[in-house]
Structure 1
Amino acid sequence: MFEQIGNWVAFELLSLSIESQLGAAVQFFVMDTLKIFFLLVVIIYLMGLLRAFVSTERVRQLVAGRPKWQARSLAITLGSVTPFCSCSSVPLFIGFVEARIPLGITFAFLIASPMINEVAVVLLITILGWEVALLYVLAGITVAYIGSMVMEWFKPERWVESYVWDIKMRQQQEQQAQSGGFAKRHDFAWNEVKVIVKRIWHWIFIGIALGAAFHGYVPEAWVTKYLSDAASWWSVPSAVLVGVPLYSNATGVIPFIEAMLGKGVPLGTSLALMMSIAALSLPELLILRKVIRWPALVVFVGVLVVAFILVGYLFNFLYA
C-alpha cells in the first residue's frame, strides 16, 4: 500500500519519470515516510495500551527474571521474524526502552530485526543457495548476540535521554490508567503517541530525506567499480563504510547484492555491504539520537562496523 501511494505521488501526481533519480528519491521518501509514521503510531499506541493494562515494572521483572542468554535469544528471535528495515525497527526499540526492558537485550532486537527476516532468507536461498543463506543467518545471529553483549558491557542506560527515565511521572500516569476503564487506558496510550512523535518527527523527516537522496542518486555502478578487488584489504571496510549512509532493508538490497556478485565482487565484501545497509543507516541513527545520546550511537556504530568487517573477511576467506 505504501509503495503504491509513493508510486502515485511521484509518477502520477508529480509526473516524474520512473527512470529518473529524482523520481526514485521522491517515491522512496513518500513511501518510507508513510510506512515509518504508521509503524511509529501503531507500535507506540500498542505499547502504551499494554502499559495501561500491565505495569512496566512487571514487564521489566519478567524480562529481568530470565537468564540473560534466554532474554537475549528471545529478542533476537523476535527481531528475526519481524521484517523491518533499520528505521522501522526504531519504534519498537523505543517501546522496549519506554517499558524499561534492559538496553542490552533491546539492542539485540535492534541489530537482528533489519538484518534477518524470512523473506530475505528465502530470497538468499533462491539466488545464492541454502549454504550462503544459512551462513548469513548464523552470522546475523552471532553479530546480534555478541554485539548486544558488548553494548551491555558499556552500560548504555547512562546514555538514554533523561525524559525516557522520568519514571515517577510515568508510573503515576500508568497507575491512574490501570485503575480506570478502557477510555482512560486509550487516553494514556494516545498521549504516549503524541508525546513521543512530537519529540522525534522532524528527525524522522530529515533521516528519511537523507535515505531517499542516497537511494535515488548513488549509482550501483559506482559501488561495484570500487569494491570488486578481493585482494585489497580495504575492500571489505570500504564496503561497510559505503553501506552505512545507504538505506534499504535486507530484502530490498538482495537484488543489488546479486548484481554485485555478477560483476565479480567477492561474497564476503557483498554480504558485509548488505549487512551495513540493512542494519545501519544515517536515517536510523538520526531517529535513535532522540532516544539515546551520541556516546551510545558511537559505540553502537563502532561495534557493528567491526563485526561486519570481520564477517566480510571470514566469508572472503571461506569462499576464496
Structure 2
Amino acid sequence: MSVISGPRTDRALWAKLVGAAAAWAVAYWANEPLWTWLVGGVAGLDLEGRLGAGIHFFLYDTVKIFLLLTGLMFVIGMLRASLDLDRARTYLEGKGLFTGLVLAVVLGVVTPFCSCSSIPLFIGFVAAGIPLSITLTFLIASPLVSEIAAIMIGDQFGWHIAAAYVLAGSAMAIAIGWVFSRFKLDRWVEDMVFATKIGRLRAEGRVPTWAERVEAAVEESKDVFTTVWKWVLVGVGIGAAIHGWVPEDFFASYAGPDNPFAVLVAAVAGVPLYVNGAGVVPIAEALWAKGMSLGTVMAFTMSAIALSIPQAIMLRRVLKPPLLALFFTSVTLGIIAIGYLFNALFP
C-alpha cells in the first residue's frame, strides 16, 4: 500500500513532515535520559556496573542507530529524489579525485558519529552514485577524526598531539581512499544498496512530484531499515556485552614500551572495546600514565574509535566479504603505521 495515497495539498504534506521531524528530534534528544531513568531509576541498576552499563548501552545505542537510520536515510532519499545527482557527480569529477577525498574527510570530521552511526550516511552516499572510494574515505574519517577526541587529547596530551592526531587520521583516510580509487570495487557492494524506489524514479528520466519524492524517501528508509535492523541488534548486542571492558593490566603486560610489537597489540586489542572518543581518551590517558608509549596509546585510541565488531556486522549487509576485509585490513594497517610514526616523532 502506498504511504501517500489520494490527493493531498502541499501544505498538509509539509505539516506532516514538520510534525514527523519534531517527533524525531524529541525522540533523539530524550533517548539517553529516558534509558538512564528507566535503567538506573526504575530498574535500580548501577549504571557504573557492568550489567547496568551494558543494558543501558544496548538500549540507548540501538534506539540511536535506528533513529539515525530512518532519519538520515529519509533526508538523503529526499535529496537524491530532488537534486540532479548527475550534476553532483560531474562536479566531483571536474574537481578531481583529491578534492572529493578532502571533502569526504571534512564531512567526516564535522559529523560526530561513531563507527556504527556513520553507516546510514555511507549507505545513502553509495546509493546516490558517489564514487565508492570517496564514500569509504568518509566512513573512515567520520569516526576516526573525532572532534570530541581531538579536544580531549589536546587537554590531556597537549594540543600539538591533538593536531598531529587530526592530521594523521585525515591523511590516512585520504591515502586509503586514493588507493581504493585505483580498483573497481563496485562489484563488491550488495545489490540492495542500488535497488531502491528513488533509483527507479531517477531512471525514468523525469522530475518526480513532491508527493512522489516523499513517498519514495519513506519507502527507501523502510527498505533499508527492514534489511539491517536484525544486524543492528546483533552488532549492538555484542558491543553491549563487551562494553566497559578495559584491559589495562593486559596492556601493561603485553603492550609496554619494551615490546616492539606493542603498537600491533594495541591496535588489534582496541577493536572489541566499541567506545567513542569521549569514552576512550580517559582510558588512553590512564595507559599513558602507566608508561605506555604515545604511539601505542594513539594506535589503541584510533582502533577503538574507528573499528568495531558491531560495525563489521552491520557493514556486511552492504559490503561483500572481500571489500569488507579489504576495508578493515587497510584501516588497521594505517593505524599501526600511525602508531609507529608517533613513537618515532614523540619518543
TM-score, with structure 1 as normaliser? 0.93
How far has the Cα of 1:11 moved from its partner?
1.4
- Give 1:42's aligned amino acid: G
Matched pairs, number: 318
**Is the counterpart of residue 207 in structure 1 residue 235 in structure 2?**
yes
CA distance in structure 2 between the partners assigned to 1:107 and 1:219 by the alignment: 29
Contact 2:77/2:198 (CA < 8 Å) preserved in 1?
no
Q: Which residue of 2 aligns with 1:118?
A: 147
Contact 2:118/2:142 (CA < 8 Å) preserved in 1?
yes
Q: Deviations over 1:90-131 (max 9, x none)?
A: 110011001010000111111111011332222211111111
Q: Which residue of 2 aligns with 1:279?
A: 306
- Give 2:99's aligned amino acid: Q
Q: Which residue of 2 aligns with 1:78?
A: 107
CA distance in structure 2 between the partners assigned to 1:177 and 1:190 by the alignment: 21
Q: 1:93 to 1:215 in 2, by over 3 A?
A: same
Q: Which residue of 1 aligns with 2:79?
A: 50
Q: Which residue of 1 aligns with 2:340?
A: 313
How far has the Cα of 1:232 moved from its partner?
0.9
CA distance in structure 1 between the partners assigned to 2:100 and 2:257 by the alignment: 39
Q: Which residue of 2 aligns with 1:101?
A: 130
SS of aligned partner of 1:86: coil
Q: Which residue of 2 aligns with 1:28?
A: 57
SS of aligned partner of 1:19: coil
SS of aligned partner of 1:85: coil
**Is the counterpart of residue 194 in structure 1 residue 222 in structure 2?**
yes
Q: What's the C-alpha RMSD, in Å, of the aligned pairs?
A: 1.9
CA distance in structure 1 between the partners assigned to 2:110 and 2:312 by the alignment: 22
SS of aligned partner of 2:337: helix
CA distance in structure 2 between the partners assigned to 1:59 and 1:228 by the alignment: 47
CA distance in structure 1 between the partners assigned to 2:110 and 2:205 by the alignment: 31
Contact 2:255/2:263 (CA < 8 Å) preserved in 1?
no
**Is the counterpart of residue 247 in structure 1 residue 274 in structure 2?**
yes
CA distance in structure 2 between the partners assigned to 1:316 and 1:215 by the alignment: 28
SS of aligned partner of 1:264: coil
SS of aligned partner of 1:195: helix
Q: Which residue of 2 aligns with 1:2?
A: 31
- Any gaps of 5 or more consecutive residues in structure 2? 1-29
SS of aligned partner of 1:88: coil
CA distance in structure 2 between the partners assigned to 1:230 and 1:102 by the alignment: 41
CA distance in structure 2 between the partners assigned to 1:246 and 1:4 by the alignment: 23
Q: Which residue of 2 aligns with 1:87?
A: 116
How far has the Cα of 1:177 moved from its partner?
11
CA distance in structure 2 between the partners assigned to 1:27 and 1:65 by the alignment: 47
- Give 2:273's aligned amino acid: L
SS of aligned partner of 2:117: helix
Q: 1:7 to 1:60 in 2, by over 3 A?
A: same
- Any gaps of 5 or more consecutive residues in structure 1? none
Contact 1:76/1:112 (CA < 8 Å) preserved in 2?
yes
How far has the Cα of 1:10 moved from its partner?
2.1
- Give 2:300's aligned amino acid: L
**Is the counterpart of residue 299 in structure 1 residue 307 in structure 2?**
no
Q: Deviations over 1:21-44 (max 9, x none)?
A: 111111111111111111111110
CA distance in structure 1 between the partners assigned to 2:131 and 2:312 by the alignment: 20
Give 1:168-187 correspondences, 5 Å limit.
Answer: 170-174=198-202, 179-187=207-215
- Give 1:80's aligned amino acid: V
- Give 1:221's aligned amino acid: E
Contact 1:43/1:91 (CA < 8 Å) preserved in 2?
yes
- Give 1:187's aligned amino acid: E
Contact 2:54/2:241 (CA < 8 Å) preserved in 1?
yes
Contact 1:2/1:31 (CA < 8 Å) preserved in 2?
yes
Taking only the aligned residue pairs, the percentage that are identical comes to 39
Q: 1:171 to 1:215 in 2, by over 3 A?
A: closer
Q: 1:136 to 1:180 in 2, by over 3 A?
A: closer
Contact 2:267/2:299 (CA < 8 Å) preserved in 1?
yes
Structure number with greater Rg is: 2
SS of aligned partner of 1:313: helix
Q: Deviations over 1:188-215 (max 9, x none)?
A: 1100100111111101111111111111
- Give 1:265's aligned amino acid: M
**Is the counterpart of residue 17 in structure 1 residue 46 in structure 2?**
yes
How far has the Cα of 1:179 moved from its partner?
3.7
SS of aligned partner of 1:65: helix
**Is the counterpart of residue 235 in structure 1 residue 262 in structure 2?**
yes
